[in-house]
Amino acid sequence: MKVRKAVIPAAGLGTRLLPATKSVPKEMLPIVDKPTLQYVVEEAVKSGIEDILILTNRSKSSMEDYFDYHPELEEKLRASGREEEADAIRGIADLANIVFMRQKETLGLGHAVYCARSFTGDEPFAVLLGDDVMDGEKPVTLQLVEAAEEYGCSAVGARHVALDQIGKYCTLRYEEMPGEDKIFRLLDAIEKPRPEEIFSDFAILGRYVFTPGIFTALADQKPGYGGEIQLTDAIARLAKRETVLAVDFEGRRFDTGNVPGYLETVVEYALSSPEYGGWMREFILKKARELS
Ligand code: G1P
């Protein structure tokens, strides 16, 4: 089994970042000088993905423009000797084979993934949530791809989160696998659990690799939490029929889909930027002195 395709659901309305996201997709908000979505696409590419489907909606055409050529801008940059920048601008459109599809109704993450079935066909594929930015020495998607390819099955990215936060994610029931300390077998999952439903502090966070079996589960998946077709519910059913791995991945995860998470991501990435890191550090230290 070889994972070559990825789906990036990016059709959400971004209601936790209003008013900015009234006309700018949350995936297009900049983390330092690149939109969130570019980090996600770059992670997919570094994980060996060649074909990417980005699921959008009617107010998100700027995402399509971003991954297209922009001859006028390139020409202007080249005319003023800014060759490197022109190449970088062009390179964005050449990162991978990127296609777009509109999710006509926002019926939930499970519905979004189900929309991708004609794109993936019979192949396994990765799913990367468009507002989760991951920063791992080895790309997080690659960690899942390697586990999925080794065992020939689906794999989800999971982490231990604070128990009082688990209601924002999902909770996993899982068992150990012989000879593995970071890879577990997923047995059950509940999306946005109530306190009495919590299996563990282990939650899926933003990255998945699926066999086409997920579509069989999604085909008749009933609406779950929030009245939406939940991907987690379909994963729980898939795990009853096929092996699904939960990979305790390495790397930091940033949720850019809400204001505090977005601000934290910008500051962290600015601090580790070769270009702005020194400046950002000085600025934070100066501010800290002023505030103390
Ligand atoms: C989604 C998933 C949830 C996951 C979370 C973080 O929830 O449904 O299982 O834990 O992303 O990646 P959302 O953040 O869209 O509410």
Ligand 1 mean position, distance from CA 205 (Å): 7
Whether 249 and 274 share a structural domain:
no
Q: Number of H helices and number of E strands within the chain?
A: 11, 13
Instruction: Provide the percentage of residues in the chain whose pLDDT is more than 90.
Output: 91
State the residue for tokens 């059950």: 188
Whether 134 and 262 share a structural domain:
no
Whether 284 and 184 share a structural domain:
no
Determine the pLDDT at residue 272.
Answer: 95
| 40 band by pLDDT with thresholds 50, 70 and 90 | very high
User: What does the pLDDT average to over 256-280?
Assistant: 95
Tally of structural domains, the chain = 2
Tell me, what amino acid is at 67? F
Whether 27 and 54 share a structural domain:
yes
Whether 146 and 242 share a structural domain:
yes
Out of 16, 36, 109, give the residue to mutate to test ligand 1, the one with the largest number of ligand atoms within 8 Å of its CB: 109
User: What does the pLDDT average to over 125-154?
Assistant: 96
Domain range enclosing 280? 258-292
| 177 band by pLDDT with thresholds 50, 70 and 90 | very high
User: What does the pLDDT average to over 262-276?
Assistant: 96
| 61 band by pLDDT with thresholds 50, 70 and 90 | confident
Give the three-state DSSP class for 100: strand
Q: What angle do CA 13, 47, 153 make, to 5 degrees?
A: 90
Q: Which of 36-45, 51-60, 177-186 has the lowest mean pLDDT?
A: 51-60
pLDDT exceeds 90 at position 60: no
Neighbour tally for 261: CB within 10 Å: 18
Whether 125 and 168 share a structural domain:
yes
Sign of the CA dihedral 104, 26, 59, 116? Answer: negative
Whether 63 and 137 share a structural domain:
yes
Determine the pLDDT at residue 206.
Answer: 95
202 lines ligand 1 (CB under 6 A): no
Residue with the smallest CA separation from ligand 1 atom 14 is 169
CA distance 149 to 153: 7
What six digits make up the tokens of 162?
A: 């604070």
132 lines ligand 1 (CB under 6 A): yes
Whether 206 and 272 share a structural domain:
no
Determine the pLDDT at residue 53.
Answer: 97
Whether 174 and 283 share a structural domain:
no
**Torsion angle, CA of 172/176/177/183, rounded to 10 degrees?**
50
Ligand 1 mean position, distance from CA 129 (Å): 8
190 lines ligand 1 (CB under 6 A): no
Q: What angle do CA 265, 271, 273 make, to 5 degrees?
A: 100
Whether 231 and 289 share a structural domain:
no
Q: Report the CATH number that the domain containing residue 105 is assigned in CATH.
A: 3.90.550.10
Whether 241 and 263 share a structural domain:
no
Whether 89 and 108 share a structural domain:
yes
Residue with the smallest CA separation from ligand 1 atom 6 is 205
CA distance 103 to 66: 19
pLDDT exceeds 90 at position 171: yes
Q: Per-residue pLDDT tens for 89-123?
A: 999 999 999 999 998 888 999 999 999 999 999 99
Bridge partners of 12, per DSSP, are: none
